[in-house]
Structure 1
Amino acid sequence: MQEHFLLQQIEPKLQKQYASILCFVSAQLSSIQIPLQRRNLHLSKQEDEVIIAVHVLGKLLGFTSERAWHRFVIGNLFFKALFPERSRYNRRCRALGFAVKWMWHQLAKRGQHHAYAVVDSLPIELCHSARMYRVKRFRGIADIGYCAFKKTAFYGLKLHLQATDQGLPMGYVVTEASLSRPGGR
């Protein structure tokens, strides 16, 4: 019984978050031309904006299970008759994946000030180590570098990626493998 009262206190906050996300999604979705060819569009229970907003809200709340999130939505945001069944909802989320990625990109570009950013490098090996001294491809671009994690030398490039504290990639640089960091020697 205590869980019921706890849920009743959280519900208005959840509704406010959903309303703000829905407002943002509907404003951004009008600028995207969605080339979806769907059959039986007249039978859909919810619009694309609602599906995207619900999906984004689930990611923000930290749900990792599609089944648990759908059960939560049916119990707290929509009636069962007004929301698509679980498999149809998940198929529509996958079909609208490019629009969700666009929304995340727009949120990142919006100018949110992030507390910190993480920069990490990883090797891009172009050939096996047995052939690295006689390879002729990418001769002017790639070279021999050292991977400290594997404690081996490799022939290829290095990818340096900058991500925010929320995991959104902000920028990247591809350099030759012998370069330890961008702008360094």
Structure 2
Amino acid sequence: MDYLHQIRKPKLRDKQLIAMDLTSEYMGIDSECQLFRILPASLSSKIEQSVYNRRKRKLFSFRESLRKALVKRLNKSEHCYIVDSMPLEVCKLSRSSRSKICKEQDYSLPEKGYCASQSSHYYGYKLHAVCSAQGVIESMDISPACVHDINYLKDIKHQLRDCTLLGDRGYL
């Protein structure tokens, strides 16, 4: 079954493209250029790199639903989760006033924040992640750097119920 309704029938089906994307991610390949260098000719002749990238972006929601189904199955009997955050620096603090990165939309503006574990200030975002004790990532979210860790707990309290959630002092 193909998820995207296309006028011309593609040589590479959507399921094959998602499988190729997941396999490359599992292998640690994070660049399409690198992927297309090592692909066998039988696959690389079926799709161009730019078409692969465009279709991969359009299939993100289907890939995400597959990820959620896998996580649900893998974490079915899990009652203990670990939550933590890390800084995502956009640029050095000294360049923050001149930086134009991620400033296209008002809701996605980077902010100045403080990372206690590194004892440093930074400009950017904060990545929050929740994973099971087995290491399966349950959810991830990006917030402005100034958002305190405790506020992320308010966001995920509807996702996780009747479980133990372990975090560092930032989540107290």
- Normalising by the residue count of structure 2, what TM-score does the alignment of the two structures yield? 0.49
Tell me which of the two structures has the higher relative contact order, counting C-alpha pairs closer than 8 angstroms and 6 or more residues apart: 2
Larger CA Rg, structure 1 vs 2: 1
